[in-house]
Structure 1
């Protein structure tokens, strides 16, 4: 083969790769207002990307999160936006498919400042190396702890392990479970379930509980056989870190099997749709939801105003805690943008630098106080404990509007923390 042709061919391929790479983006510059600008930032606009699950297993929840983001930034723009610029969202649906998400990310990363949402623990785990290469700040719409090892991840609230620790602490406190009892934990494979099971492992070892682990896949929909196995262990309670449909299967199958024990689920596993059909009775009777963000039934002005605006913009849509999760995460991303604006640095590096300056972040009660100065750690260790209630907006009500934080949570050091 002619060496000159080979070299020319390789050069052409390199140029093509550069054009397709997410690194082929606008270079940093300085605007007329003296603010440094990077990819996705013009004189009048800040463009953020969103990779959402609008058609996959979490679509019912993430559609609400995504629409809440759209509404929040529309309202923010009416108030002047950020740094005199409107915030625009570029949304792509990945359907909880990693390959689709990877392709969509490559397209969006060339034209956005950062990502105000990439939904799904598995998707984020696959892309986190790309985030680092591209210097983008990403809200992962996930409480998976290992993601926090990356400086590119913006957590919002407590991680899934702290949610489990706090609900188990509450159960130990009220006698729902006691030392020597068996507790089952049904959890999805991957970082979502893997983070949650770390919390139950920790509490089992600390309080002499026997843990029955039941790992499932996203495609598992009928959990009757798993519940039969749990019943045979004599479990006194069931933890669930899975999808709403899988929670529904756990609730119905346990009711049918006569296993009428308490159930707790991480926030992503709850949906008000479970208050209809066969799941209604076991959910109302036995379920606790553990999460850190506020829900529509809470008496907070910031919640009331936003949920009313959401209902007006999306008439007929159910307003539940995923609307307020979208509101909460958008508020946190806005706090970062505002800090970057104050620093006169709307570049990708400027956003990353801004995060580390945020301590004791106040979101008006949407989330507990957040601390982003502890690298690799959850910004909060507190959780709300909620009970389904068909009579309230969103179908779930806080047992106490004061968030739960146990001594166990304060003493816990996750394996993923630095």
Structure 2
């Protein structure tokens, strides 16, 4: 189903849910803002609380990321509430588990939409695509967990850090130097069908063309688990490196099969393709030797003060939980949300539009969690600097930084072509 059809289907579902619950779309999404002591308010805001929604996966395939992201955001919000909250109010998270099912996400959004001031976390590219029109209509500031460039250009939707294509442009520059690639060399490009993989592939193609590298492309389905076929094709083509954007399970299969069949070349993967649990698989040795990860946030083993504090706080609160990138996503969601509300409060406008305006006023957001981010233009990624990391057992998050946050010159050229 294409993007237009998906949005249309989602709109129909929302309409049906609203009809069955006896709610009017217009009444639910655009309530009249109230003035309280000169402060303009809207849905989800009372004299004592600001209620924020979270639509995530706690029971489905993305739960290994969804659960720590929720826990980390709740931890951040709890810390803020402990010192007085925001604008004289405590922030409350209203959580719904969509199990990574698009229709469940659409139904959950329809249920909580009248009760919330913003969406502090929305996990899933397909879920975001299905809800995009409703989010814009409802003027609902939404922090999304999918970093596809297709989520840019919408006033009330915000990705954090880089997009997948920017990470690939920065990453290919590193890989060319690391692997000593030369003009005319062949490099594999294996990517998952869908917005995530296709966005990463777009950046990879541009960077490869600029470097004079010939790509050998292989597309995989999100449900594919065995990467033997694409690895065999790349081996036959005698590629000297591989670019990859898929699920973490596919990463383990691809790197493990490549090493076992003699294709011992470096593999550069998008950040969404790795979780530290992979180091408990038979592919551990191959991952540590061959894999690099290109991603917009620093490794959790970083010595950045903000990251070190996050790791210490999370481990104190959840000592039995394994750290992964979801911890950073949740903390960053919480920090961005709080700063947007604070900026809105300063303008005496806690309506939904006021909270979005608050976000759009943040030009140099920095909480010590990575690169400085600019949220003023919804058509642009807030950061264009990517880290390069490598798997490492025994460190927080199972990754270590090998190149600091960098924006290579090719990024500006690529973005000019993307428009």
Structure 2-normalised TM-score? 0.91
Indicate if the aligned counterparts of 1:295 and 1:320 stay in contact, CA closer than 8 A: no
Aligned residues: 403
Judged with a 3 Å threshold, the aligned counterparts in structure 2 of structure 1 residues 334 and 247 are, in CA distance, closer, same or farther, namely same
Moved more, 58-67 or 28-37: 28-37
Alignment of 1:144-155 (within 5 A): 144-155=148-159
Alignment of 1:384-395 (within 5 A): 384-395=387-398
Indicate if the aligned counterparts of 2:18 and 2:110 stay in contact, CA closer than 8 A: no
Judged with a 3 Å threshold, the aligned counterparts in structure 2 of structure 1 residues 95 and 182 are, in CA distance, closer, same or farther, namely farther
Alignment of 1:83-162 (within 5 A): 83-162=87-166
1:19 equivalent in structure 2: 22
Give secondary structure in 1 for the equivalent of 2:22. helix
Judged with a 3 Å threshold, the aligned counterparts in structure 2 of structure 1 residues 182 and 15 are, in CA distance, closer, same or farther, namely closer
In the aligned structure 2, how far is the partner of 1:60 from the partner of 1:153?
24
Indicate if the aligned counterparts of 1:328 and 1:367 stay in contact, CA closer than 8 A: no
Q: Is 1:406 aligned to 2:405, yes or no?
A: no
1:113 Cα offset (Å): 0.9
Give secondary structure in 2 for the equivalent of 1:214. strand
Alignment of 1:285-304 (within 5 A): 285-304=289-308
**Cα distance per residue 1:4-51 (max 9 Å; x no partner):** xxxxxxxxx999479335543372434534221111111111111111
Indicate if the aligned counterparts of 1:144 and 1:160 stay in contact, CA closer than 8 A: yes
Judged with a 3 Å threshold, the aligned counterparts in structure 2 of structure 1 residues 200 and 24 are, in CA distance, closer, same or farther, namely same
Judged with a 3 Å threshold, the aligned counterparts in structure 2 of structure 1 residues 199 and 80 are, in CA distance, closer, same or farther, namely same
In the aligned structure 2, how far is the partner of 1:408 from the partner of 1:41?
44
Unaligned residue ranges in structure 2 (runs of 5+): 1-15
1:171 Cα offset (Å): 1.5
1:276 Cα offset (Å): 1.1
For residue 62 of structure 1, the aligned residue among 66, 71, 74 is: 66
Structure 1-normalised TM-score? 0.91
2:356 equivalent in structure 1: 352
In the aligned structure 2, how far is the partner of 1:66 from the partner of 1:238?
33
Alignment of 1:221-240 (within 5 A): 221-240=225-244
Q: Is 1:246 aligned to 2:246, yes or no?
A: no
Judged with a 3 Å threshold, the aligned counterparts in structure 2 of structure 1 residues 129 and 387 are, in CA distance, closer, same or farther, namely same
2:12 equivalent in structure 1: none
1:320 Cα offset (Å): 2.8
Unaligned residue ranges in structure 1 (runs of 5+): 1-12
Judged with a 3 Å threshold, the aligned counterparts in structure 2 of structure 1 residues 22 and 375 are, in CA distance, closer, same or farther, namely same
Moved more, 127-136 or 209-218: 209-218
Judged with a 3 Å threshold, the aligned counterparts in structure 2 of structure 1 residues 330 and 178 are, in CA distance, closer, same or farther, namely farther
1:379 equivalent in structure 2: 382
**Cα distance per residue 1:117-140 (max 9 Å; x no partner):** 111111111211111111111111
Indicate if the aligned counterparts of 2:96 and 2:108 stay in contact, CA closer than 8 A: yes
